[in-house]
Amino acid sequence: MVEALRYMATDVVAIIGPQCSVVAPIISHVASELRFPLLSFAATDPTLSSLQFPFFVRTAQSDLYQMTAVADIIDHYGWKEVIAIFIDDDWGRNGVSALNDKLAERRCKISYKVGIQPDSSVTQGAIMDILVKVALMQSRIVVLHLNQIVGFKVFSVANHLGMMGNGYVWIATDWLSLVLDSESPLPSETMDKIQGVLTLRQHTPDSDRKRAFFARWNRITGGSPQLNAYGLYAYDTVWLLANSLDAFFNQGGVISFSNDSRISSMAGSALHLEAMSIFDDGVLLLKNILLSDFVGLTGPLKFNSDRSLILPAYDIINVLGTGIRQIGYWSNYSGLSTVSPETLYTRPQNRSSANQKLYSVIWPGETLSKPRGWVFPNNGKLLRIGVPNRVSYKEFVSQIRGTDMFKGFCIDVFTAAVNLLPYAVPYKFISFGDGRKNPSYTELVNKITAGEFDAVVGDIAIVTNRTRIVDFTQPYVSSGLVIVARLEKERSGAWAFLQPFSRRMWIVTGSFFLIVGIVVWILEHRINDEFRGPPKQQVITILWFSFSTMFFAHRENTMSTLGRLVLLVWLFVVLIINSSYTASLTSILTVEHLSSPIKGIQSLAATNEPIGYQEGSFAERYLSEELNISRSRLVSLGSPKAYALALKRGPGNGGVAAVVDERPYVELFLSSQCTFKVVG
């Protein structure tokens, strides 16, 4: 930093650098005061793009995009929590902060983050202390935002602790790809420690210009050192500045400097800051840099309105064997893909989840199976789950005798839901109730608000007063209160043939027989001899004609058109009456009928007969407070056997007229009781 400040005292018009994000803010402040552009191809700290540093120009991609790529990878595999290990300086902290923001956008989070001192002198003991804590955590997804020296120390200790095996996922930012590109092949013992690791590399499109440059570089250097992505960005940065200076001079720009009184007042300091001067046309040179538009080794060099390079993209790399394998790309245009970004730029943008693809990965432990990403933490807090200790209807929930375990339908639903979660939920069941009678579910729910339980699992009805204090899941069984009553058998007797129709129906049917006979006689007696004769005979004809149509046996012929039309309609009505009567009579004589004097909650509430309810149920409060039924009429029943006994006795023998209970219990009760039925 001191060397940079001394260099600025030599009439500087631009600086290429620094290569360190930590140094960049200080130099950027000075560059802004002296009004000369600061072009950095390696300072990737996202905060350097702020308006605070107007003369800072980043000629590589910001870590903001790299962290977006990491977040997309994590979201692609369905992981929800990650652990971040970073260098504890401005670059490391700001990078992890950007990662946290991008994960939050995808409803993921950093569950644990820890910084490592930036000194290369950090000991393996200090790293081991950090990784031991990481091993106790729930998440198995580790993101490393480190430098080369500390990063390989972390992998070495992790390998020693057995953390590079099955179940772990290690994602390193582009520091690892820089080493792999620059120093390949690495020693075998080093490669063995990073098998299965994912890393990112700033994407540079393949081109003839790039291949020709690599050939020239290898002829000059003999292949050592090898070039990485930042080397290509450095080369393009030199050309970017050269082209911008050329445009600057073509526009009449002049290199001239002026002194600042604020700097002159600092004469006598060891840094000789008084020698610094302001570049008069620095704003014009900066404008030409930001308006640059040409194709370099790294692709198009063009800046957007945020002073960032357009079309950010990364290669996603899997360390495998003695080398690396590219499993896909990430671009800000289309997300994750196995197709190069240059191809996707020619197509309509598509960031749908179905379009996010990567090739298969060889994960740590040499497995192709995607790691689950979490385990039950050794230091995790157990959720306290309250469970009612029922004495009836144990099919829903019950405690296994002599243990702290529970079983039942509700427990099965809970465990199935927990097993579907993409993260660990450690919990323990806590019994609620004395085991001699069903506990009050309202009291059980209140235990959550009191802090005694974190949640409650069981056959708990969703009612208004409970929803005011706790949240419920979606219901997984049908609910509602129903009435169960005893049914009496209706036996058929000698007059059973009259039961298919009511009294009113019999009267209406007989009246129509008479009316139809009279109408037909009126239409026929003038032209039809069969409808003539003495009055007594005419009355008999009228009665007999309409009745005989029931059996299609009338002997009188109809001659008038209207008479035949009336007869046709009447025969159709007779057919319906005959069929209905036959079906009803057959049912009465062959099927046993059951009936109850209780027709619904209104008829039940209007009587003074006792009503049963399940012990501990909210039905008691509902009947008394909502329906205004006297509590003296309400009888608490503790089991299905008590239901059946009370209903069989009836209200006259110390029993109840009906039982009001929730539908799931009633359906279970009626599955083994055939003399009772839901009514109303």
What local confidence, expressed as pLDDT, does residue 590 receive? Answer: 64
Residues 623-656 have pLDDT tens digits of 998 888 888 899 999 888 998 999 888 888 888 9
**pLDDT (mean) for 575-604:** 73
Beta pairing class for 455-456 and 383-388? parallel
Which range among 311-320, 331-340, 462-471 shows the weakest confidence by mean pLDDT? 462-471
The residues, ordered by sequence, that sit 6+ positions from 594 with a Cβ below 8 Å of its Cβ are 487, 488, 489, 490, 677
Residue 220: HSE in the Cβ half-sphere, 13 Å Cα cutoff: 9
594-679 CATH choice from 3.40.50.2300, 3.40.190.10, 3.40.50.300, 3.50.50.60: 3.40.190.10
Q: Is the pLDDT of residue 552 over 60?
A: no
What local confidence, expressed as pLDDT, does residue 363 receive? Answer: 96
Strand partners, 503: none
Tell me if the pTM is above 0.75. Answer: no
pLDDT band at 473 (very low <50, low <70, confident <90, very high): very high
Domain made up of 383-477: CATH architecture: 3-Layer(aba) Sandwich (3.40)
What local confidence, expressed as pLDDT, does residue 503 receive? Answer: 77
Q: Is the pLDDT of residue 268 over 60?
A: no
Tell me how many degrees the CA angle 257-262-267 measures, rounded to the nearest 5: 90
How is residue 188 written in tokens? 């075998």
Q: Is the pLDDT of residue 480 over 90?
A: no
- Is 1-60+227-301 a CATH 3.40.50.2300 domain? yes
Cis ω on the peptide bond leading into residue 664 (within 30° of 0)? Answer: no
DSSP letter at 426 equals: -
Percent of the chain surpassing pLDDT 90: 50
Residues 388-435 have pLDDT tens digits of 998 888 899 999 888 889 999 999 999 999 988 877 788 999 999 888
Q: Is the pLDDT of residue 96 over 90?
A: yes
What local confidence, expressed as pLDDT, does residue 525 receive? Answer: 65
**pLDDT (mean) for 619-623:** 88
Helix (H, G, I), strand (E, B) or coil at 19: coil
pLDDT band at 558 (very low <50, low <70, confident <90, very high): low
- Does residue 304 contact residue 312 with C-beta atoms inside 8 Å? no
What local confidence, expressed as pLDDT, does residue 536 receive? Answer: 72
Residues 57-82 have pLDDT tens digits of 999 999 999 999 999 999 999 999 99
Question: Which top CATH class is 496-590?
Answer: mainly alpha
Could you give the residue range(s) of every CATH 3.40.50.2300 domain in the chain? 1-60+227-301, 63-207+311-355
What local confidence, expressed as pLDDT, does residue 526 receive? Answer: 66
Q: Is the pLDDT of residue 489 over 80?
A: no
**pLDDT (mean) for 4-23:** 85
Q: Is the pLDDT of residue 273 over 70?
A: no
Cis ω on the peptide bond leading into residue 185 (within 30° of 0)? Answer: yes
Q: Is the pLDDT of residue 570 over 80?
A: no
What local confidence, expressed as pLDDT, does residue 270 receive? Answer: 56
Q: Is the pLDDT of residue 553 over 60?
A: no
Cis ω on the peptide bond leading into residue 18 (within 30° of 0)? Answer: yes
Domain made up of 63-207+311-355: CATH architecture: 3-Layer(aba) Sandwich (3.40)
Which range among 144-153, 289-298, 320-329, 531-540 shows the weakest confidence by mean pLDDT? 531-540
The mean predicted confidence, pLDDT, of the chain is 87
**pLDDT (mean) for 560-579:** 75
**pLDDT (mean) for 343-369:** 92
Q: Is the pLDDT of residue 481 over 70?
A: yes
What local confidence, expressed as pLDDT, does residue 81 receive? Answer: 93
Helix (H, G, I), strand (E, B) or coil at 349: coil
- Does residue 547 contact residue 516 with C-beta atoms inside 8 Å? no
How many other β-carbons are positioned within 10 Å of the β-carbon of residue 631? 10
Tell me how many degrees the CA angle 601-605-611 measures, rounded to the nearest 5: 90
Least Cα distance to 460 among 651, 132, 451, 473 occurs for 473
How is residue 319 written in tokens? 């360390």
Could you give the residue range(s) of every CATH 3.40.190.10 domain in the chain? 383-477, 594-679
How is residue 311 written in tokens? 């079309």
H or E stretch covering 169: strand 169-172
Percent of the chain surpassing pLDDT 70: 89
